[in-house]
Amino acid sequence: MLSAKDYRRMLEYARESGRMKYYYIMKTLAQTGIRISELRYFTVEALTVRKIQVNSKGKIREIYLPKGLIQELKEYCMEERITGGVIFLGNTQKPIGRASVYKMLSRIGESAGVSREKVYPHSF
């Protein structure tokens, strides 16, 4: 299990190394409890309504977004010139994939001195 101290170390490393997309992905996962595959529901428009609607296995659930996270993601979008649509895109300009996020989180964890066994998609 990822401790609060390990989480902070990973965030700090991501920020210091310029991996801001992953910094905000980690914050989003930790503060909302969503799965990596549900990052695609985080759109610029969802920040305005302060919630996302996740469609999973035929069920729709609403996840309300913390005010602080909304503000941080709005600032990130401004810095990255993301004006609409999905916030977290991969290299192909499609929603970032689970494998890409997992690989980068593993690298960030390793670089931050966090045991590999503690860093996995649901550890946030």
What angle, 0 to 180 degrees and rounded to 10, lies between the N-to-C axes of helices 67-80 and 20-32?
Answer: 160
CA distance 14 to 40: 21
- Helix (H) / strand (E) element for 89: namely none
Token pair 């916030």: residue: 87
Domain architecture of the chain: domains with CATH: 4-123 (1.10.443.10)
Beta bridge partners, 54, equal 61
Q: Where are the beta strands (DSSP E) in the chain?
A: 51-56, 59-64
Per-residue pLDDT tens over the stretch 21-78: 999 999 999 999 998 999 999 999 999 999 999 988 888 999 999 999 999 999 999 9
Model confidence, pTM: 0.90
pLDDT digits (tens, 9 = 90+) for 69-80: 999 999 999 999
